[in-house]
Amino acid sequence: MDALDRAIDMTARLVAFDTESAKSNLPLIDFVESYLREHGVPFVRAPNAAGDKAAIFATIGPMGPGGVVLSGHTDVVPVEGQDWSSDPFTLRLDGGRLYGRGAVDMKGFGAVALAMIPEFKRAALARPIHILLSYDEETTCLGPLDVIARLGVDLPRPNAVIVGEPTSMQVADAHKSVTTHLTRVRGFEIHSANLHRGVSAVHIACRLVGELERIADELRAAGDPSGRFDPPYSTIHVGVIKGGTARNIVAKDCHFEWEFRGLPNADPMFAHDRLAAFAAELGKTAFANFPQCGIDIDTLVKVPGLAPEPGSSAETLALRLARRNSTIAVPYATEAGHFQEAGAPTVVCGPGRIDQAHQPDEYVEVSQLAACVEFMRALARELEA
């Protein structure tokens, strides 16, 4: 069985594990550990605090600094409510495409890395190749943090990190940050005929959302000086809003969930801080006679952006391996920003197209897995003695 056939088989095996983010990924991690043992590859497991999920970090080659991390996540988004043509957890080959949940986002990349282990072991590696498979990228992006904190401590510090999110095997050196927030408004409940004697949490929440719209307009007007992103500006989006109990009751509670996707040079907390300042001023008048009322803004997720580092070891290496002359920017966030914040030069480069991610009948092209195989073969040659 050649490397591409092994990659397809491994993709099928990984897709078969239902690792939706709300569920445990431990059965998949157990499988990977067994596979690594079969090939004599050392690894460490990094469980989460609850013990129901884990990341795994494997090393092929010498256990020393200067190697390359191939990073991917094991969790996938839910399939509930999506109209699939076949079982989403059974990989299906049709017309040169491999269909299945996670095939492109991003079990295909992890499968190629695992399938290449026999070739990695045959290479005379002077510097190591590390494979990191993490969890919760689709929700919090916190899954790889425990391993990242250990790089250069009890795990080797790499010279470059390649995050395998789908880029059609182009090299991305920049992506936006994502910060998500939950805003809660506490009003004063009363019959709506006596509106003046209460405070509507729904009305206050709407004023806050309106302020977010004004901030979003400013960001749109400021644009993207680099000219690399689509859309070409930082964005704000309110995805969920809930509040009130009945049409004729002044709402006691209301909350809304929202996100800020910032250009790499933008402060991830910019929109949060602006809204917090507006809320403080609003509360002075709206809650003047209602001390029990208030506004709380909690930050749920904070994923740093990936800033360009022209000429970095990761960019130079990935461009050479991918046979590309230039980099791209992507609008979605990954764990790449966490690696960069830890001082590890990082790029994003993986098989498939991001517009297939999270979709019913998600797929990755076999040709893209083949290109990823060649990329990793070139990596092994690069790290040979």
Active site residues: 75, 137
Q: How far apart are CA 147 and CA 160, in angstroms?
A: 15
In order of 36, 73, 277, the CA distances from 39 in angstroms are: 5, 21, 57
